[in-house]
Amino acid sequence: MSKQQPVIFDIGWNACINCGACIAICPQEAGFVSPFDTIAVDRPCDIACLLCEQICPVDTIRHRPAVAEVTPAGAVGR
């Protein structure tokens, strides 16, 4: 239960002020940066400390599980 699940991020681009706080606090390697100077949004983060989400001053980072949920055949979520 305590093992972190990989997450992937959505960022509200209209709200982001490109402050760089999410990048500054992130323990990931420098390559984990999007073309918009935010946390990468196109690949899963398996550290999932969520510090980036917590530090964002405009609260515009949202994480979601990066792994597809295994659902019974025919039970398509949403």
- Residues forming contacts to ligand SF4 in the complex (CB under 6 A) are 11, 16-22, 25-28, 32, 38-39, 45, 47-52, 56-58, 60-61
Q: Which is nearer to ligand SF4, 42 or 69 (CB)?
A: 42
Using the Cα atoms of residue 14, residue 36, residue 54 and residue 41 in order, give the sign of their dihedral. Answer: positive
Q: Which is nearer to ligand SF4, 2 or 22 (CB)?
A: 22
Half-sphere exposure of 69 (CA within 13 A, CB side): 9
* Terminal alpha carbon distance of the chain: 25
Q: Which is nearer to ligand SF4, 30 or 75 (CB)?
A: 30
